[in-house]
Structure 1
Amino acid sequence: MKKASLILSIIFIILTFVGAGYVLYNGGNINAGYAIIPMVFALVCIAFYRNRK
């Protein structure tokens, strides 16, 4: 379970950077949620990983 939360956090961090790039590519005219929502899930996974450690 600990390894799965680490892998999920890495995936969500990558999705955060992809979402931020998408927002910047479109000049900020789209919703910033494309970057924020994956970051929230990444923070949850990292917190879960640290609690299990």
Structure 2
Amino acid sequence: MCLCLTICSSLAPSPTKLALCYILDRLMHHCHLLEFDGRSYRLKEAAEALARKTQST
């Protein structure tokens, strides 16, 4: 059993959530994970929006 599935099943006691964990485990098993170095655009834009908001008040 995959570590992520073990963690997910311990956090999800209901049958529906457990089924979702199995589905996600199968999807993760058959996909390619991409990791990117550097800062994400969402974090950058959120920081800029927060800076604009604090400057305007």
TM-score range (shorter-chain normalised) is 0.3 to 0.5
Larger radius of gyration: 2
Q: Which has the higher helix share?
A: 1
